[in-house]
Amino acid sequence: MEILDGRSYSSEIKQSVKEKVESFCQTHKRPLLACIIVGDDKASEVYVKSKEKACESCSLLSRVIKLPESTTQKELEAQIEILNKDESVSAILLQLPLPKHLDSCTAINKINPKKDVDCLTNYNLGALFAGNSSFAPCTATGIIKLLEKYNIEFAGKNAVVIGRSLLVGKSVASLLEQKNATVTLCHSKTQNMQEIASKADILVVAIGKPKFIDENYVKEGAVVVDVGINRVEGKILGDVDYENVKEKCSYITPVPGGVGPLTVACLMENTLYLASHNLESK
C-alpha cells in the first residue's frame, strides 16, 4: 500500500504557480482572488483563511468579503455583481455552504463565468461535461492531478464515484470518463452500492459520512481516494475507514493530507488561469 501524499504535491503546485505568477506580473497586473463568506460558519472561516494564506504563498492577491448571517439573496447577488464589474478582480469564490435561507445555485450563477474560479456556473459546468473546458472544479482537478502524479492508469479501468455533488462527484466522474475510465456514479438511492464499489479499480468517495466505507466496499489492490472531511469529537475523519481499508489498497489518500491540500493548490492554479485566459479573450 502506498499513500497518495496530497500535502507534498500541493507544495510543488503552489511553487509552480508562484513562479508563473511572478512571470505573469512582469507585464500584467497581479491576479486577485475575491472570496465571499456569509455568516459565521467556523469551518468556512478556517477554509477561507487557508485560501488567503495560499494566495500569499503563491504571490497572488486576495480579498475577503464577509457578509452577516442576515444577508438577503438580493444583497448577496448585488455584492457578486460589484465583483463582476471590478476589473481588479480576476476570480470570484462563493464559500459554501451558505445560510439555509439563501439559494446557492442562483447566487453562483450570478458570477461572471470568466471569473468563476470553482467552475460551478451552469456555463462552465456545461463546457466541462461537454468535454471542452480548460479547467474544472478545484477538488475534482486535484483528484485527477494526484492520480496522474502517481502514474495511475485511467484508460479501461473501472472507476466508481460515491457522491453526486456538482463540486466533486459529478465533476470528477466527468473527468475520469474523459480519461477513458468506465465510470459508475453512486448516490444515496443506489442499490447494491457495496457490490458496485467492491469491483472498482479506482474508488472515489465523497459522501460526508465518517468512516462509512469499510473493507467490504474495497477491491483488493484498488486505488481509494477519500474526499471526506468530517469533524468528530475534535478529530478529522474521512468517509473511508482508513485503518481497516488501507491493507487492501494499492494506493490510498490520507485524511487530512490527501485531497484537501490539492483543492487549495488547484484554486490557486484556477485563479491564475482565469487571469491569463481573460486577457487572451479580450
Residue 217 pLDDT: 97
Bridge-based pairing state of the strands 222-226 and 249-252: parallel
Annotated catalytic residue 95: yes
Question: Which triple of cell numbers denotes residue 20?
Answer: 508563473
Residue 203 pLDDT: 98
Containing H/E element for 266?
helix 259-281
Closest by CA to 48, choosing from 257, 232, 263, is 263
Residue 242 pLDDT: 95
Please say whether the structural domain 138-260 has been given the CATH code 3.40.50.720. Answer: yes
User: Of residues 95, 116, 241, 248, which has the active-site annotation?
Assistant: 95
Bridge-based pairing state of the strands 230-232 and 235-237: antiparallel
Measured between alpha carbons, how far is 247 from 20 in angstroms, rounded to an integer? 39
The letter for the amino acid at 146 is L
* Average pLDDT for runs of 10 along the chain of length 282: 96 98 96 96 87 97 97 98 97 95 97 97 96 93 98 98 94 97 96 97 96 96 95 90 95 95 96 88 56
Annotated catalytic residue 194: no
User: Of residues 14, 116, 118, 219, which has the active-site annotation?
Assistant: 118
Residue 280 pLDDT: 63
31, 88 contact by CB (below 8 A): no
Instruction: State the angle between helix axes of 138-149 and 259-281 in degrees (0 to 180), rounded to the nearest 10.
Output: 110
For the chain, domain boundaries: 28-114, 138-260
Residue 263 pLDDT: 95
Closest by CA to 88, choosing from 28, 135, 37, is 28
Tell me, yes or no, if the two domains 28-114 and 138-260 fold the same way.
Answer: yes
1, 252 contact by CB (below 8 A): yes
Annotated catalytic residue 118: yes
In the chain, the N- to C-terminal Cα span, in Å, equals 48
Beta strands in the chain (DSSP E): 2-3, 32-38, 61-67, 91-94, 158-162, 182-186, 202-205, 222-226, 230-232, 235-237, 249-252
Measured between alpha carbons, how far is 165 from 139 in angstroms, rounded to an integer? 11
CATH number of 28-114: 3.40.50.10860
Give this prediction's pTM. Answer: 0.94
